[in-house]
Chains A and B, each alone.
Chain A
Amino acid sequence: MIKQNKKTISYYVLLVVLLFNALVAVFPFVYMAVMSLTQKDMLDLDFSNTTFSFINYFKVIDGFNLLVNLRNSIIVTVSSCLLNAIICSMAAYAFAKKEFPFRDKIFGLYLATLMIPGQVTMIPVFVIIKNLGLMNTYPALILPIINAFGVFLIRQFMVSVPDDLLDAARIDGCGENRIFISIVIPLVKPVLVSLTIFTFITSWNDFLWPLIIASKPAMKTLTLAIASLKGSYSTNYGLVMAGSTFAFLPPFILYIFLQKQFVEGIALSGTKG
């Protein structure tokens, strides 16, 4: 066989096909961003008589109180990422490195809960939240996001931390909590990053749960708020697009900077099933 260094015709044909697919994936977002700068009431590709400005952003942010929604989204997302990482790695450490009665049974129970889709339990969880008087509160938006997936994921990495390392630290007089914080946690940092990105996207994009639990406008998250934009502004496309772009920017900017971790973190959910 002759080594194919030259790019053949088929390479260029495939390249065109791939580029077309990439264009189809990206174009709606580009169009959204461009439209958000215009006052057009027609959805076409004719921008010849259009003036571009940021006025829609000011209008939609003021008129729809999007800054309140942004604040809610940030509070909910950051807290759920932090809590999920802390609570799950604690449990993962116990399941991986501690001996206690019923350990494997309890872990099996954790795994079993992974098979329960959130939509199946949303009615009782709603009733519980209501009875606890937590409707329209941050804890109601944050706490149900934490689930056993993180425990399962981190545990797999903690199992491979050598026991000798932990014993050596114990001999040096290191307390149990310090072993966990200063030795085990740094060793599983990559998986914590992946889990956090996964939690971030799940929590930022979450819709059904906030829809049920946050009925007060002041408690709505950004994703919840933009769902009602279209109903309120119907044909004022510029405003809808400005609001949508505004909601998309935070995850998009993070994606630009942390591309590799994003792809890994989100692909991890494949193991959740």
Chain B
Amino acid sequence: MRFQIPIGPQHPALKEPISLRMTVEGEIIRDADIRLGYNHRGLEKLAEQKTWIQNIYLTERICGICSHSHTTCYVQGVEKLMELEPPKRGLYIRTLVAELERIHSHLLWLGVAGHEAGFDSFFMYTWRDREIVMDILEIICGNRVHYGINTIGGVRRDLDEQQVKHILDSLAILRQRSEYYQHLGTNEPSFVARLAGVGYLSREDAIALCAVGPTLRASGVPMDVRKDDPYAVYDEVPFEVCTADTCDVLGRTVVRIKELFQCYNIIEYLLKNLPSGPVAVRAPRRAKPNEVVSRYEAPRGENIHYIKSNGTDKPERLKVRAPTLGNYAATIKMLKNGFIADVPLIFAAIDPCICCAERAVSLVDARSGQEKIISMNSLKTLSLKVSAGKARKREAEWPL
């Protein structure tokens, strides 16, 4: 018996609204479909009405977990537009925060993977230890989530000796805990039984479907913007690109744990070789008419910002491609022929940030299921035409 089950837009496995429609036979998924557009916020349009400085804080709010990724990506683009050269110390601190953010994101993901697999103790412990890195970020930046450390031409806050020492001490604890989680995550039989072989994505498929980040690297493709197109100070810092060749959720877990250790090495290197000097340079208020594409390796994968300036103090266009969007096509491939029980795990394994990826709205006819994309103006006229003088409709049928 085939039937369709809706996972989302409201579902306990999803922290944000998205609709996954599964056609299942018993417990096995035969077909999957992803519908976006439940969390569209109009950020790109809003960015056109704000100045370059104000937009830093707007792009920061694209995502809560990778807030530093979006600002860095944006700020790098703007610096290119304004032809600014941020001082070395500023870049080091920017990279430091980026790596701390990667640690916090990966620890968070480990916890989420544990929770989705029903392994709540693992979830509690990883999130407890994530507090250590959150505290470091709070000490450096003054906030725990939206760090607000980036500014055009450098960073806003400097590090002192005491903070450096505190970070190095905390890192030792984190390293020890991560080693324990690596041991636990690859040895607990019930956990491994849930992860291994689930959500298979072959190397060819991963490349063809444009997967990004740990999802791609877990399929054995060593692709990392930090290595391929170094930004900030990644060309000076020694580190390795972590890959796994199991192509499943276990591989994605292993890649993330390996990356944690790389993060610790990078941070130690950065702190030991921190140059002296100013942390920021003065930025002009306007940028010359030009356009730029900025790339950044966020914890979830490659993050792309396209910025176009027109000579004023506001951007003419800001286009954001969040890493989650790049992974959706691969997710459908991974979900097919899996079990319903694995849906939350497979979906969580791409570390989805749904509101990051919401850039479009499509209209679906509730009766026929037909989709179309129309302009805002015709949408307005349509809504006025349909709802004019009508009583509110009760008991609307769920368009399944």
Partners in one complex: no
Chain A residues engaging chain B, CB cutoff 8 angstroms:
none
Chain B residues engaging chain A, CB cutoff 8 angstroms:
none
